[in-house]
Amino acid sequence: MDGKMKLPIVEKGYDIAAADAYISMLQEEYNKLYAWGSELEKRTNMPAGETASSEEIEALRTQNRSLYNNCVAFAKHIKRLEKLCVLLLKESRLLEYEDEIQEMVQKQMDDSQREYYLREQLKVISSQLNNGVSPEEEIQEFRDKIAALPVDDASKEKLLRECDRLERYAVQSPEAAVSRNYLETCLDLPWGKYTKDNLDLARANKILEADHYGLKKVKERILEFMAVRSLAPDVGGQIICLVGPPGVGKTSVAKSVARAMGRKYARISLGGVHDEAEIRGHRKTYIGSMPGRIIAAIQQAGSSNPLILLDEVDKLGSDYKGDPSSALLEVLDSEQNFAFRDNYLEIPYDLSKVLFITTANVASDIPAPLYDRMEVIELGSYTAEEKFHIAKKHLIPKQLKKHGLTARQLRFTDGAIRNMIDGYTREAGVRRLEQLIASVCRKAAKRIAEGEEKISVKESDLLALLGNPKFKEERLRDSDEVGVVNGLAWTSVGGELLEVEAAVLDGTGKLGLTGSLGDVMKESAHAAMSYVRSRADALGIDSKFYKNKDIHIHCPEGAVPKDGPSAGVTMTTALVSALTDTPVRRDVAMTGEVTLRGRVLPIGGLKEKSMAAYIRGIKTVIIPKANVPDLDEVDDAVKANVEFIPVSNVDEVLSIALIPVDRPAEVVEEHDAKKDSKRADIPAHDKTGGRRSRVTQ
């Protein structure tokens, strides 16, 4: 109906404006109801696909129009119009709410049907992709495996809860992938799987002897460990740490132990590791999370009692991501590792049956808490004779096999092997020597592939095969010199013999130190200077030398860093020699820390230092008296050719190393009789090797 309707009957006293307003509202609400009538198909409860007939719809419209006309005619009073408007408004709002609810229900039904349809499709697709295994079957398989695990009830319950989560997730959702990977990782671990130890000592000794030449101390300790295991199978807490320079066979020893005991072997390289999560793992909530290296090694070995080698434990680092050495405390502590918790697994794993062997180049770099939990076995440098036998028995056969050669096709003469050791290598181990042998094998393989049948490598062939020797034969100086002392140094690759030089110059009492010296070595030089000043009169030195003389101490090979306290005795001897113009014996070397009182303190690395002295042809080595017990570790060949003289103070050192000389009369007249008599009693100095890159105190 168009236009504004008027009251057909107007009685006195009625508000025409209010009546018109009510009638306008009535007309508006009626139009809404009329519009709802045209949407009968959406609101009817007819079955899907059926619609109301046109006659039914028209009848509804006629009924509503008649109702409107009757209502208007009936509205003789404003109060009646008001009530009528309220009724129509309620009816209109009710119809709106009913329609909204019906739309929501219909949408939910459509979404549910769609989701159900898609889920059924995904099940079929997943079944095809998983070789016919449906998600339900996969989850049930997980539950069966969990039930069979030899773990505590709490761990089983946690894994079962994870299965429940996986079941609720959509098959291809990211959450499902995380949950599935977690369950697969946990179930792939060798829970309760152990290999049986072979504790036959005779067999183990045979294997160790076949794999390694020498290393008697290490082999003996391994056999002791196996003997204890045979008597007390459940004993724990024995962590062996092999300490020695590179290339001496630390890693290969661990492999031999695993083979001798019949255990699985896994290696973890700790060099450069600075994140605690590398040991304990990442929580599975992180993207790309995974277990730590310990659990990964267990999984790799496929056994709960493997031999795990923790390589380069002295090179662990730490930063804002945590301290991995602290995380290793739980791993190596027998009181804790029976319930080791990896952040990824979140359930305890028993590491008490694992045999841990660690390696390090320098014991002093191992964190103290870790060091206390390990038994340290030191592997020293090889002698030239040991290297020769190692090359013949192990390195050459290994490289021949690696390059597809036979002993008949390629042969090394003894002279060639010894020349390679002396002229082309300078190392504590045999790693570089093996590289040289491999290089010769490659060149020989090329020649054999070109038609040669047999190749014999002689000493004279090395120049063509390996080039010029890298190291010349080092000999002692031709004469005894003033202010030059032979010092013994320890480095990460073995021992070295270094010359420490001291020069006295006119000046103002300055002390110059050169040769890339570390802080500890510089302190040793100042301590030596103070000692000489305090003993100037007794040593026949001008007591005012520190005012009118400059002292320069130099250690050659300035590009090589040097540090350590064992240079104290060497520097003191060089200073006294230079200030008294007294030569030093060139066939004497020395090592030891010196105090301001002249006491000689013990040092580390005696085995390596003595080997360096032996190689250079030194006849006498001065050592601190406290290091006498360490002579048991010195090679027999060294002890047979070198005389070791223990000392407790600097005076003893000077009496051995310095060579008394006759002074011209004009020189003697410069000093009073008292000083001249003391000077005549000055002992000959021996020099101490003061440079070392690392010192084991």
Catalytic residue list: 566, 609
Cβ–Cβ < 8 Å for 649, 569: no
- What tokens appear for 176 in the block? 């499902």
Give the 3-state secondary structure of residue 246.
coil
Those residues with Cβ within 8 angstroms of residue 508's Cβ, 6 or more apart along the chain or in another chain: 547, 548, 550
Q: 85, 103, 83: which is closest to 95 by C-alpha?
A: 103
Euclidean distance between CA atoms 209 and 215, whole angstroms: 9
Q: What would you report as the CA-atom Rg of the chain, rounded to the nearest whole angstrom?
A: 46
Pure H helices in 247-404: 250-261, 277-280, 293-301, 324-332, 368-372, 384-390, 396-402
Give the 3-state secondary structure of residue 54.
helix
Measured CA to CA in angstroms, residue 142 lies from 20, 156, 163, 171 at distances of 77, 11, 7, 15
Maximum pairwise Cα distance, the chain: 159
Neighbours of 348 (CB within 10 A): 16
Neighbours of 437 (CB within 10 A): 22
For 443-509, the DSSP string reads: HHHHHHHTT---EEE-GGGHHHHH-S-SSPPP---SS-EETEEEEEEEETTEEEEEEEEEEEEESSS
- What tokens appear for 508 in the block? 């103002």
Pairing state between β 240-243 and 355-360? parallel
Sign, CA torsion 595/601/605/609: positive
Residue 8: DSSP 8-state: S
Euclidean distance between CA atoms 168 and 408, whole angstroms: 68
110, with CB counted inside 10 A (0-12, 13-18, 19+), is exposed
Angle (CA) 387-453-405 rounded to 5° is: 45
Q: 96, 66, 68: which is closest to 81 by C-alpha?
A: 68
Question: b or e along 27-62 (b: 16 or more beta carbons within 10 Å of the residue's beta carbon)?
Answer: bebbebbeebbeeeeeeeeeeeeeeeeeeeeeebee
CA atoms lying within 13 Å on the CB side of residue 105:
8
